[in-house]
Structure formats: C-alpha cells, structure tokens
Amino acid sequence: MPNGARARPNLRPDHNGTQRAQFESNKRRIFATQEVCGICGQRVDFNIKWPDPMSPCIDHIIPVAKGGHPSDIDNLQLAHMCCNRQKSDKLTPQTRPELAAPEAVDMRDLPQTFDWKSL
C-alpha cells in the first residue's frame, strides 16, 4: 500500500463473519448437486482449479451489494470464475423481470370481435 495506506477490512458476512459457515455449507451442497454455470449455461469442469478463469465458483444471483442475502442457498448458484467476474454486481434479466425482453402478443390473446357501435 502506497504512503502507509491501510487495506480496508472485508466487512461482508459471507467472507469472514456470521454467515461464513452457512455459505461454506451451501457451497459444498451446490458443488455436489449442480454442474452447469448459472450465468453462461455451459458445463463447469470441477477438475479445473483456481486461479484458472474457468474454475468453479459460487455466484450470488442477487449481488450482496444490491441487497442479496450473502448465504441463502436460493441466492447462490454455480458459475465459472470468469462469468462471475464479468457479471460483477450487475442484475441480470432473470433477477430483474423489467430488464427482460417484452413478451410477444399472440393473436389469440386479442379480442376477436369489437362492437364499433358502442363508440
């Protein structure tokens, strides 16, 4: 650190606080039950070890920085490290429905008749 600057302590509870044990337990559970990256949809190879960009890691679906729970299993998914880094703390269309493409209207959903005299 230049000029005697101190490193900021990591205050996230899933890194070194109260949620750490639950996060580790859920991480083992996800590694045992999932095999596809939740971000890119490709298979994750567990033989690849860190620091390789394709190594497996855990992604917070709703980032902790955006209010997501740090250790809830419903907020965790398997990911490649490079996918997780690229996603960063962004919300995806899956986590924010308003970002998703608008649903196409089917002709069957439109009224088949209209009473023009009522206008």
In 3-state terms, the chain is what percent helix, strand and coil (to 5)? 35, 10, 55
For residue 81, what pLDDT is reported? 94
* 50 CB-contact burial (10 Å; exposed 0-12 / middle 13-18 / buried 19+): exposed
Residues of the chain falling short of pLDDT 50 = none
For residue 4, what pLDDT is reported? 58
For residue 2, what pLDDT is reported? 58
Could you tell me if residue 8 is inside a domain?
no
Q: Which domain holds residue 82?
A: 16-90
Domains contained in the chain, number: 1
How much is the pTM? 0.66
CA distance 70 to 78: 14
Dihedrals φ, ψ of 20, to 5°?
-60, -45
Dihedrals φ, ψ of 78, to 5°?
-75, 145
Could you tell me if residue 7 is inside a domain?
no
Could you tell me if residue 55 is inside a domain?
yes
Could you tell me if residue 68 is inside a domain?
yes
For residue 22, what pLDDT is reported? 87
For residue 28, what pLDDT is reported? 94
Could you tell me if residue 98 is inside a domain?
no
For residue 74, what pLDDT is reported? 92
For residue 67, what pLDDT is reported? 86
Could you tell me if residue 54 is inside a domain?
yes
For residue 70, what pLDDT is reported? 87
For residue 9, what pLDDT is reported? 63
Element (H, E) at 60: strand 56-60
Could you tell me if residue 111 is inside a domain?
no
